[in-house]
Amino acid sequence: MTGSPVVAVAGATGAVGVELLKCLETRNFPLSKLKLLASKRSAGRTMTFKGEEILVDELTDASLKGVDIALFSAGSSVSKQFRAASKTAGAVMIDNSSAFRMEAGVPLVIPEINPEAAKTHQGVIANPNCAAIIAAVPLAPLHRVNPMARVIASTYQAASGAGWAAMKELEDATRAYLDGRPFAQQVLPHPYAFNLFSHNTRIDPVTGYNDEETKVHDEMRKVLGHAALRISATCIRVPVLRAHCEALTVEFERPMSPDEARAILAKAPGVRIVDDIAANHFPMPNEASEQGDILVGRIRTDVSDPSGKTLCLFVAGDQLLKGAALNAVQIAELLV
Amino acid sequence: MTGSPVVAVAGATGAVGVELLKCLETRNFPLSKLKLLASKRSAGRTMTFKGEEILVDELTDASLKGVDIALFSAGSSVSKQFRAASKTAGAVMIDNSSAFRMEAGVPLVIPEINPEAAKTHQGVIANPNCAAIIAAVPLAPLHRVNPMARVIASTYQAASGAGWAAMKELEDATRAYLDGRPFAQQVLPHPYAFNLFSHNTRIDPVTGYNDEETKVHDEMRKVLGHAALRISATCIRVPVLRAHCEALTVEFERPMSPDEARAILAKAPGVRIVDDIAANHFPMPNEASEQGDILVGRIRTDVSDPSGKTLCLFVAGDQLLKGAALNAVQIAELLV
């Protein structure tokens, strides 16, 4: 791609779409034109980009004409629907949905980890699942030094993973709870005020894993290029607005000390160590929110593995930024 | 102990104290007299038991005279201070604090698991840590059939573990957040509104584990009588009011299928299986609250251990009831 591309954001009015605009602006992405696209329902609104009001157009095949980079964040079915039109337009689709992530020939990219994969695209580059990104960014640099054999992840996932409506539902449900008013949830299947629940994706009746957990499993393997990685996730939605946390137990092929891990992580791009034992200060959603790094702390040798090969970590990352919009814009930066 | 004992509740006005009264009432505990004791600051208030107003007296050495069973829930230092007076009074102290749990000669009892240990007491019986109880109740019956080799636990702990004041702080902080007002936390060290953080107990600078995690480690071993159990916990406080959840990865000595585990758990006392894949309905704090069972679900073979020896489970239990007051009253029932 030469010169400044025409960039489209499809799903511009969604929770991730808004962050895509912010990332393009704050990172001063070298675009010649920005097209904002959304469903018919959201079209006609305007959004501000670099002080300019831009009209949101309806996403149609024709709307993609002339686009060089199409950042899609409008769900799997929309991505599938517009894949052909994006290709016809000559655009590279950077897709935030799960539609094409595991498809052979579609690179699944985290720029800190496998930027070279982006070059192999055939019109679509997939942005990984947020829980996979937030675990992979700190684990990849450790894996490069000492390959991982096994990962056990328990997630603490924010409402933002289910979009604006879920974030609003968490706030509304909580306010109702505090006021002693009844509240009927409509977006998520369970009460969310001061409550948590297993991720509400379909569960494979054979394995017992839900789709979110399977995404973490499959996508970690693909992004790390480690098809034999043994990995198990338990994905839980907690009453937090926009940053995910994960408790990670990671077995390496050889012993790895916390100090060795800290030294590697201190130099790792996109990672910030927050591991202050004296102050009891570790990664938290409120500090992970609205910034791009994955926070890593509670770095310690797993006392349940006497071989010294296993570390425990606790990580936090902004689900809307590094878990979605920021990673997508970083992928776009690889193309220009 | 013969006849109906005189029972004292020390720390009666605290979050656990209130639940102790409720448990004694709803379980119709056969007591001849109930004494309510608390700090000087809380003495003079009255509390209702079986429709009767009872004056809260100040906890002093003299106040324990004539008491047969003293249910202590006023913190470790208070338990230590009154241990001798309780012994002099001839009372059995059932202590909810961590003061004596790991002391040789002090039984650490979960009535569903090791009721026989209660008989060996020398004046003090310890009630385990809430996170240990909530994991142990469902794991012990599995362990009895197929010994556990290793447990990895990630907790989702409620505010109630830090008492009334923390529960109120969570509500107040959340209301302030929703109203856009600043809020300065005073009980817990980090903002709690829509936030979570590593358990705020002291961290061992050598191991990197915090005291809550060490309690889970040590107490699970003692309660299960399994000194070689390899166990690692990551303890996290989540913005939930009064029920803890835990994601458990459990390796057994031999393969254990989810169906075998379900059959064992279906008959286990104090356990209720909530594992409805079709309805995406699993253990949640709101359904675990204000009832005595530990809810267990997400029962599946850990895909990261091809031997089939490892299961994943997600559990939830009321921190104030089975995690504290209910277990203590059940211990008292073993004495009468």
Taking Cα atoms as reference points, which of A155, A72, A102 lies closest to residue A329?
Answer: A72
Residue B1 pLDDT more than 80? no
Q: How far apart are CA A217 and CA B310, in angstroms?
A: 17
The residue-averaged pLDDT of A154-167 equals 97
A-chain residues near B238 (CB < 8 A): 156, 196, 238-239
Q: How far apart are CA B127 and CA A219, in angstroms?
A: 43
The distance of Cα B325 from the centroid of its chain, to the nearest Å, equals 8
Output the pLDDT for position B42: 96
The residue-averaged pLDDT of B274-301 equals 98
The residue-averaged pLDDT of B305-313 equals 98
Q: Which of B199, B217, B244, B312 is catalytic?
A: B244
ipTM: 0.97
In B, residues 228-287, which contact A (CB 8 Å cutoff)?
A: 230-232, 234, 236, 238-241, 245, 247, 249, 258, 277, 280, 282, 284-286
Q: How far apart are CA B117 and CA B114, in angstroms?
A: 6
End-to-end CA distance of chain A: 6
B-chain residues near A239 (CB < 8 A): 194, 238-240
B-chain residues near A150 (CB < 8 A): 304-305
CB spacing of A305 vs B245 below 8 angstroms: no
Residue A44 has which token pair?
A: 């006609």
Q: How far apart are CA A210 and CA A249, in angstroms?
A: 20
Helices (H) and strands (E) in chain A, counts: 9, 15
Output the pLDDT for position B242: 96
Q: What percent of chain B has pLDDT over 90?
A: 99
Q: Are A261 and A273 in contact (CB under 8 A)?
A: no
Residue A2 pLDDT more than 80? no
pLDDT tens by residue, B151-204: 999 999 999 999 999 999 999 999 999 999 999 999 999 999 999 999 999 999
- Which amino acid appears at position B170 of this protein? L
- Which of A281, A296, A298 to mutate: most B Cβ within 10 Å? A298
| CB burial readout A109-146, b (16+ within 10 A) else e | bbbbbbeebbeebebbbbbbbbbbbbbbbbbbbbbeeb
A-B C-beta contacts closer than 8 Å = 171
Nearest CA in chain B to A209: B300
Residue A10 pLDDT more than 90? yes
Residue B225 neighbours by CB distance under 10 Å: 12
B-chain residues near A231 (CB < 8 A): 303-304
| CB burial readout B60-74, b (16+ within 10 A) else e | eeebbeebbbbbbbb
pTM, two decimals, is 0.97
Output the pLDDT for position B3: 79
Q: What percent of chain A has pLDDT over 70?
A: 100
Residue A289 pLDDT more than 80? yes
The residue-averaged pLDDT of B253-281 equals 98
- Which amino acid appears at position A181 of this protein? R
Nearest neighbour of B209 by CB, restricted to A208, A303, A314: A303
pLDDT tens by residue, B203-214: 999 999 999 999
Q: How far does the CA of residue A251 sit from the closest CA of chain B (Å)?
A: 11
**Which residues contact residue A306 at a Cβ distance below 8 angstroms, ignoring those fewer than 6 apart?**
B230
Output the pLDDT for position A235: 98
Q: How far does the CA of residue A253 sit from the closest CA of chain B (Å)?
A: 15
B-chain residues near A277 (CB < 8 A): 203, 205, 208
Give the bridge partners for A92, in sequence order: A69
Q: What are the angstrom distances between the C-alpha of A317 and each of A128, A238, A295, A313?
A: 14, 14, 6, 13
pLDDT tens by residue, B28-59: 999 999 999 999 999 999 999 999 999 999 99
CB spacing of A154 vs B200 below 8 angstroms: no
Q: How far apart are CA A79 and CA A83, in angstroms?
A: 6
In A, residues 145-204, which contact B (CB 8 Å cutoff)?
A: 150-152, 154, 156, 170-171, 174-175, 178, 189-191, 194-198, 200, 203
pLDDT tens by residue, A232-288: 999 999 999 999 999 999 999 999 999 999 999 999 999 999 999 999 999 999 999
The residue-averaged pLDDT of A217-240 equals 98
pLDDT interval class at A166 (50, 70, 90): very high
DSSP per-residue codes, B186-239: SSSSS--TT--EE--S-B-TTT--BHHHHHHHHHHHHHHT-TT-EEEEE-EE-S
Q: How far apart are CA A249 and CA A257, in angstroms?
A: 13
B306 touches A at CB < 8 Å:
yes
Residue B289 has which token pair?
A: 């609250």
A-chain residues near B171 (CB < 8 A): 178
Output the pLDDT for position B110: 98
Q: How far apart are CA A139 and CA B179, in angstroms?
A: 38
Angle between helices A130-145 and A211-224 (to 10 degrees): 40
- Which amino acid appears at position B98 of this protein? S
CB spacing of B194 vs A150 below 8 angstroms: no
DSSP per-residue codes, B31-55: -SEEEEEE-TTTTT-EEEETTEEEE
Taking Cα atoms as reference points, which of B231, B269, B268 lies closest to residue B250?
Answer: B231
Output the pLDDT for position B204: 98
How does the average pLDDT of chain A come out, rounded?
97
B-chain residues near A262 (CB < 8 A): none
A335 touches B at CB < 8 Å:
no
DSSP per-residue codes, B247-282: EEEEEESS---HHHHHHHHHT-TTEEE--BTTTTB-
CB spacing of A189 vs B280 below 8 angstroms: yes
Q: Looking at the annotation, which residues of A are catalytic?
A: 130, 244
CB spacing of A284 vs B197 below 8 angstroms: yes
CB spacing of A298 vs B208 below 8 angstroms: yes
Nearest neighbour of B194 by CB, restricted to A240, A298, A306: A240
B-chain residues near A209 (CB < 8 A): 300, 303
pLDDT tens by residue, B94-139: 999 999 999 999 999 999 999 999 999 999 999 999 999 999 999 9
Q: How far apart are CA B247 and CA A199, in angstroms?
A: 13
pLDDT interval class at A3 (50, 70, 90): confident
Taking Cα atoms as reference points, which of A336, A108, A299, A77 lies closest to residue A216?
Answer: A108
B33 touches A at CB < 8 Å:
no
- Judge whether B190 counts as a catalytic residue: no
The residue-averaged pLDDT of B262-288 equals 98
Residue B228 has which token pair?
A: 């070689």
Nearest neighbour of A247 by CB, restricted to B154, B178, B217: B154
End-to-end CA distance of chain B: 6
3-state class of A272 per DSSP? strand
Which strands form A6-10's sheet, in the order they lie side by side?
Answer: A46-49, A52-58, A33-38, A6-10, A69-72, A92-95, A124-126
Q: How far does the CA of residue B135 sit from the closest CA of chain A (Å)?
A: 16
Residue B2 pLDDT more than 90? no
